[in-house]
Amino acid sequence: MNDEAGASEELGPVVSRHPVANQKRWANAGWALVIGVLTGWVGLWGLVSAGEDGSAGGHKAVGVLLGLGLSGLFIAVTQTVRAVRGGPAEYFEVRERGVVYGSRRGTAGWSWDQVATITMGGTDTENGVTRRLGTGYRCLLRFADGRRARVDGLAEQHVALGIAVLSNCPDAPRLTGGEWQRRWGGRLLAAAAACLAAIAAMILYLVGHPDREQVTVDARGLTTEHFVPGVSETGVAVLTLGMLACLVAAITFVVLFVRGRRGY
């Protein structure tokens, strides 16, 4: 993204400047990675150690740990990507006749009539985690040239920035970000059904391969009994992880479908 300085200057004087706190993203990625690795490792260790003899409560605890591990890794990756793309000096500027966005990739400016759509979103209630991650507020600007600029809660005075855009672009369509959920409603349910079918297939595979005792007779006529597991411990661990992943995916698809139908 490159834009000549003159193009930005044509938008008039700066009304307000909104730097993005990308240093927080690096800190967020660091602690999320630590939490994800530690909880994921403990969860895997518990999954392998418990085997089939573990209690139901123990399996639930393992599932919680694995879920925390995956969530931590996801947060670490997304925060790192945003920090790298934005760079240390990412910012937004509200100008008299438009908006300017600067990042590691360069600087670009658009007049107010070039704002094609405005997507507003975020969580219903703010808390310490959403404020720290910047996920409590979201404003996506799509411009006539096809480019986009995303504002989240880590932009300084992000609410004022969003209000300035809305007030200066009264004719730009307002979106909620859930339009694709309504368009893809049937596919979301199909994906959820596919995940549930995969879980059923993995359960049937485990049931169809029970542990058994194998009897062998050597040359001297001595009989020896061997315990042969139907599925190895590694196989059980992999299938369990697969079922957990499919369950999370199925729940996610159903939630997206419901939110789309409610017009979220």
**84 plus 95 within the same structural domain:** no
Q: Which of 46, 70, 89 is the last residue of a domain?
A: 89
Q: Are residues 103 and 52 in the same domain?
A: no
Q: What is the pLDDT of residues 95-139, one digit of tens each?
A: 999 999 999 888 999 999 999 999 887 665 677 888 888 888 889
> At 135, is the secondary structure helix, strand, or coil?
coil
Same domain, 161 and 230: no
Last residue of a domain, one of 141, 176, 211: 176
Mean pLDDT calculated for residue range 38-58: 67
Residue 143 pLDDT > 90: yes
Average pLDDT rounded to a whole number, residues 4-15: 76
Q: Assign residue 127 the CATH number of its domain.
A: 2.30.29
- Of 176, 206, 238, the last residue of a domain is 176
Residue 155 pLDDT class (50, 70, 90 cuts): very high
Q: What is the mean pLDDT of residues 232-237?
A: 79
Burial class of 223 by CB neighbour count within 10 A (0 to 12, 13 to 18, 19+)? exposed
Res. 218: pLDDT tops 80: no
Q: Within this chain, do residues 15 and 130 fall inside the same structural domain, yes or no? A: yes
The domain tally of the chain equals 3
Same domain, 10 and 113: yes
Instruction: Supply 161's token pair.
Output: 């920035």
Q: How does the average pLDDT of the chain come out, rounded?
A: 82
Least confident range from 20-29, 33-42, 99-108: namely 33-42
Q: What angle do CA 71, 73, 75 make, to 5 degrees?
A: 70
Whether 13 and 144 map to the same domain: the answer is yes
CA 57 to chain centre: 28
pLDDT of residue 65: 78
149 and 53 housed in the same domain: no
Task: For residue 95, give its domain range.
Answer: 1-20+90-176
By residue count, the chain amounts to 264
- C-alpha pair distances (Å), 247 with each of 4, 43, 122, 199: 50, 17, 25, 7
- Whether residues 254 and 139 fall in one domain: no
Predicted pLDDT at 263: 46
Same domain, 83 and 98: no
* Same domain, residue pair 129 and 13: yes
pLDDT of residue 243: 86
